[in-house]
Amino acid sequence: MHKKLFIPGPVEVNPAVLEKMATPLIGHRTKDATALQQGISEKMQKVMATKNTIVLSTSSGSGLMEGAVRCFTKKRAAVFSIGAFGKRWYKMCTANGIPADIFESELGQITTPEMIEEALSTGKYDLITITQNETSTGIHNPMARLAEVYKKYPDVIVCVDTVSSMAGDFVPVDELGIDVCITSTQKCLGVPPGMAIAAVSDRAIEKAKTIENRGLYFDYVELVKFVKEKPYQYPSTPSLSHMFALDYQLDRILEEGLENRYARHKRLAAKVQEWAKTHGGLYSDPENLSVTVTCINNTTGHPFSDINKAMGEKGWLISNGYGDLKDKTFRVAHMADTTDEEMDALLKDLDEVLASL
């Protein structure tokens, strides 16, 4: 029996989107491939609210994240972490020999404007990384408030991880002054895992041209050069199968309407958050809760493995806590194409499971 995925990625994918993965392949250097990649780029610019260049990568989001710290750090990176995935940025820096400092918030708490001001006012850093949405704790950063601070430092390149939020939470890239905004297909976009997307500013690329040892596969300078000059081509063979699916899904997203999509994600989040308040409580800062995944304190008296096994028998898969929060919390995702009816049914079954254990 297939268990419907309510984990923080990969998500349940619409059958029609899955079918597009089986589209007969075309030559990746053909005009048809160029048209496909151009169409995706133009639609992603609408989703990301940006005029910046869109880069598509046959990789997870981690590939473009690692490429970003290599390509855009000349002096030192300031990594702002609100959980496991913020720490990942720092690990990428150290693994690549890039000077970096990490500024960690307590689990369940945001990066504050004061933290960014304190770091950037030193003049030590020419790149910052921010996690917009942290799935390990179910919290999202108040990007508009953070932008008020980092915009005062125009020489600093701003990299933002929106892997678990883009197309589910409103992240207007240009308005927020984000230079490198990275996401992946397998979460709010509702496409199988295996492709990452970045919106990259011209000023970031101009800076990257002055940096040596940027790597090869994830060299943003080379990627953007191909997109702009070929045009809409890539140095390496891309996953056209993912592109067929992504192109189709972007049509579905734009047909739903971005405002409607954001409203649906907020509505689903509110359902789960209300449920959580009477079943153990919310783990994170209630003023800055994620709209794509909820982290719930496990005060049920039952091991999560027992809860998930029973939910699996009803056809659902939810997620244990992550890292240090494993078995202390559990998580329910509400992203991509999830409907109100599905969310209501899952919570009803979760009530029945907890009552029966």
Both 262 and 228 in one domain: the answer is: no
CB 55 within 8 A of CB 91: no
Both 249 and 271 in one domain: the answer is: no
The b/e string for 241-269 (b: 16+ C-beta within 10 A; e otherwise) is bbbbbbbbbbeebeeeeeeebbebbeebb
Amino acid residing at 352: E
Both 232 and 262 in one domain: the answer is: no
Both 293 and 149 in one domain: the answer is: no
Both 302 and 214 in one domain: the answer is: no
CA distance 293 to 170: 15
Element (H, E) at 77: strand 77-81
Both 27 and 133 in one domain: the answer is: yes
Both 54 and 70 in one domain: the answer is: yes
Both 167 and 297 in one domain: the answer is: no
Could you check whether the bond before residue 231 is cis, i.e. omega within 30 degrees of 0?
Answer: yes
CB 223 within 8 A of CB 199: no
Both 169 and 290 in one domain: the answer is: no
CATH of residue 102: 3.40.640.10
Nearest by Cα to 161 from 63, 58, 259: 63
Q: What is the pLDDT of residue 48?
A: 98
In sequence order, what DSSP letters do the residues of 171-230 get, joined into one string? --HHHHT-SEEEEETTSTT-S-SS-EEEEE-HHHHHHHTT-S---STT-HHHHHHHHHHT
Both 134 and 82 in one domain: the answer is: yes
CATH of residue 279: 3.90.1150.10
pTM: 0.97
Q: How far apart are the first and last CA of the chain?
A: 22
Q: What is the pLDDT of residue 350?
A: 98
Q: Residue 48 is encoded by which pair of tokens?
A: 């990301």
Q: What is the pLDDT of residue 32?
A: 97
Number of domains in the chain: 2
Q: Residue 65 is encoded by which pair of tokens?
A: 């994240």
From 205, 235, 254, the end of a domain falls on 254
From 213, 234, 254, the end of a domain falls on 254
Both 143 and 290 in one domain: the answer is: no
Domain hosting residue 147, numbered range:
16-254
Both 330 and 345 in one domain: the answer is: yes
Q: Taking the CA atoms of 109, 173, 48 and 60 in sequence, report the sign of the dihedral they define.
A: negative
From 239, 254, 269, the end of a domain falls on 254
Kindly give, in sequence order, each residue whose CB lies less than 8 Å from that of residue 262, ignoring residues fewer than 6 positions away. 168, 169, 170, 291
Q: What is the pLDDT of residue 1?
A: 87
As averages over each run of 10 residues, the pLDDT of the chain (357 residues) reads 96 98 97 98 98 98 98 98 94 98 98 98 98 97 98 98 98 98 98 98 98 97 97 97 98 98 98 96 97 97 96 98 94 98 98 96
